[in-house]
Amino acid sequence: MSHEALLELRGISKQYPAVLANDQISLQVKPGEIHAILGENGAGKSTLMKIIYGAVQPDQGEIRFNGQQVHIRNPQQARALGISMVFQHFSLFDTLSVAQNVWLGLDKSLSLAEVSRRIREKAAAYGLDLEPERPVHTLSVGEMQRVEIIRALLCEPRLLILDEPTSVLTPQAVDKLFAVLRQLVAEGCSILYISHKLHEIRALCTHCTVLRAGKVTGECDPREQTNASLSQMMIGSEPPALVHSQRQQGDLVLDVRELNLPRSDPFGTHLSSVDLQVHQGEIVGIAGVSGNGQRELLYALSGEDVRAATGSIRLAGQAVGDQGPAQRRALGLHFVPDERLGRGAVPALSLAHNLLLTRSEAISDSGWIDMSALAAQAQAIIAKYQVKAGGSQAAAQSLSGGNLQKFIVGREIDAAPKLLIVSQPTWGVDVGAAAQIRSALVALRDAGCAVLVVSEELDELFELCDRMHVMAQGRMSPSLSREQATVAKIGSWMSGLWTETEEAVN
């Protein structure tokens, strides 16, 4: 069969100091095939994709592309062969524009103006709205994902590797992306597709290779499987169903009234008359298409942006609009950002030292750090949340995305907050870890904490939340109870289509 394969891996292995990431992996990808790679966080999926793309070198094994043995030394060589990749963690330069970032991976004989024109054409053709002139640091996470996808498509790939491509896309954008991928396959492109969304794999992919602990443990046609059977293959069991019982609302913890903020950069979104309340013992969700003011709202709530009128944001009755993160944390606010590396954690620091970003239990009154207490605290979070890491001294950047997310969420939940704000809680997290994080959030809510969740995954919001809002064009919709909310209504409100009558009623 090897002559039929576009890509063939034979006995690929990769050892890191703390883990054997890939252990004698062999697989084939045929022309015009959408091939899923399925496995729990830390199973070795991203390492394997980076080996194919030349970003990581294997310790042993053979790669054959289009029938020829190849040694892919770097991503430039991979792109020359016709291999493109969209990473789960973005590889973008914040200070450069969208067009400049895309230009870096293309033929330098093209002018920047020509690259900008091609970006506009691809973006329009695939429904991935992008402005080539925008600096990357002004983009939301969802918009950064679009840059990566457009950059890969501009290379006209023969093999496209997608690592969690839909994790920050709305359902409508996912449908558009799937249409693009099916068109690419019809034109002869092959796709390697990593996702933890089992329904996506069943709807899109024609073949599936399952990894567990760095080894291939099975192959199947996902169209013939159920979510339960795929979950069984991946993690050895089906994750437990989320138990979500009704609770009586407690005291008002977060009270946002008439929050108006001009955008802080030319490509941001103005916040206009935002009203939002979160009580003890409830989870409130905010849905919406990326780039509609969610980032600006989160900055204002977390204390990173202190331009708000003092009384427009109240925490446990205290006006905090002009107070920074430390003052708000002292009042019980903890925050999980959507950017794990860089904002949620310092990549090169150990997990233990990353605790010091938001936790101070291991710091004495005189300012000394008790390193043994800090390490024990980190190890307790690792154990409680089943984080796969090489101990408390492992660097944050050495963890898979899902395992780092579990650690960051665990760090903030373990602080026993009065208000927890979480952005994209299960982005890039496998089904088992996602169930664990959602259960932890519900348990925190049941313990009396006020929880605010911002997510672009509607299924997640419907599963978690007691009440929901939609954010569109910098405005906040009325509140909908879990029983009132429907996918159709939330979808229409994402365009700002709620009425003044609905606002008055709510």
CATH code for position 499: 3.40.50.300
Domain assignment present for 242: no
3-state secondary structure of 260: strand
pLDDT at residue 101, rounded to an integer = 92
In this structure, the answer to whether residues 93 and 45 fall within a common structural domain is yes
What is the pLDDT confidence band of residue 171, given thresholds at 50, 70 and 90? Answer: low
Domain tally, the chain: 2
Q: Are residues 86 and 196 in the same domain?
A: yes
pLDDT at 18 over 80: no
- End position of a domain, from candidates 235, 261, 284: 235
Per-position DSSP letters for 410-456, written without gaps between them: HHHHTT--SEEEEESTTTT--HHHHHHHHHHHHHHHHTT-EEEEE-S
- For 116-159, what is each residue's pLDDT tens digit? 999 999 888 777 778 999 999 888 767 887 898 888 888 889 99
Q: How far apart are the C-alpha atoms of 191 and 247, rounded to whole Å?
A: 45
Q: Specify whether 230 is located in the same domain as 265.
A: no
Report the share of the chain in percent with pLDDT over 90. 62
Domain contains 245: no
Closest CA to 281 of 417, 448, 420: 448
- Quote the domain boundaries for residue 201: 2-235
Structure tokens at 321: 């609009």
Q: How do residues 445-463 score in pLDDT, each as one tens digit?
A: 999 999 999 998 888 899 9
Instruction: Enumerate the H helices of 82-139 as residue ranges.
Output: 98-103, 112-126
User: Is 240 domain-assigned?
Assistant: no
pLDDT confidence band for 429 (50 / 70 / 90): confident
pLDDT for 169 = 66
Mean pLDDT, the chain, integer: 89
User: Same domain for 231 and 257?
Assistant: no
135 and 280 co-located in one domain: no
Vertex 269 angle, CA 267 and 271, to 5°? 160
Q: For the packed helices 431-446 and 401-413, what is the interaxial angle rounded to 10 degrees?
A: 10
For residue 243, being part of any structural domain is answered with no
In this predicted model, what pLDDT tens digit does every residue of 344-378 receive, in sequence order? Answer: 999 999 999 999 999 999 999 999 999 999 999 99
The answer on 435 and 373 residing in a single domain is yes
Contact indicator for 178, 203 with CB cutoff of 8 Å: yes
Q: Is the pLDDT of residue 503 over 60?
A: no
Q: Which one of 203, 235, 267 terminates a domain?
A: 235
Distance (Å, rounded) from C-alpha 472 to C-alpha 475? 5
Mean pLDDT over 410-421 rounds to 96
Q: Do 287 and 382 belong to one domain? A: yes
Examine residue 246 and state whether it is found in any structural domain, yes or no: no
Residues 148 and 27 in one domain: yes
The residues, any chain, with a CB within 8 Å of residue 272's CB and separated by 6 or more, are 260, 473, 474, 475
- 142: helix, coil or strand? helix
Higher pLDDT, 259 or 266: 259
Report yes or no on 432 lying in a domain: yes
304-308: long-range contacts, CB 8 A cutoff, minimum separation 24: 305/261, 305/264, 307/261, 307/264, 308/259, 308/261
Whether 501 has a pLDDT exceeding 60, the answer reads no
Judge whether 180 lies within some domain.
yes
Same domain, 269 and 325: yes
pLDDT in tens, 216-265: 999 999 999 988 888 888 877 666 667 767 777 899 999 999 999 999 87
Q: Is 252 helix (H, G, I), strand (E, B) or coil?
A: strand
Judgement on whether residues 220 and 328 belong to the same structural domain of the protein? no
Under 8 Å between Cβ of 26 and 58? no
Kindly report the length of the chain.
Answer: 506
**Cα angle for residues 166, 170, 171 (degrees, 5° grid):** 90
Same domain, yes or no: 311 and 433: yes
Indicate if 84 and 150 belong to the same structural domain. Answer: yes
Q: Are 297 and 269 in contact (CB under 8 A)?
A: no
Q: What mean pLDDT do residues 313-320 have?
A: 96
- pTM score: 0.73
What's the CA gap between 458 and 460, in Å, rounded? 5
Residue that is last in its domain, among 201, 235, 269: 235
Assess if residue 244 is contained within a domain.
no
| pLDDT tens digit sequence for 68-82 | 999 999 998 999 999
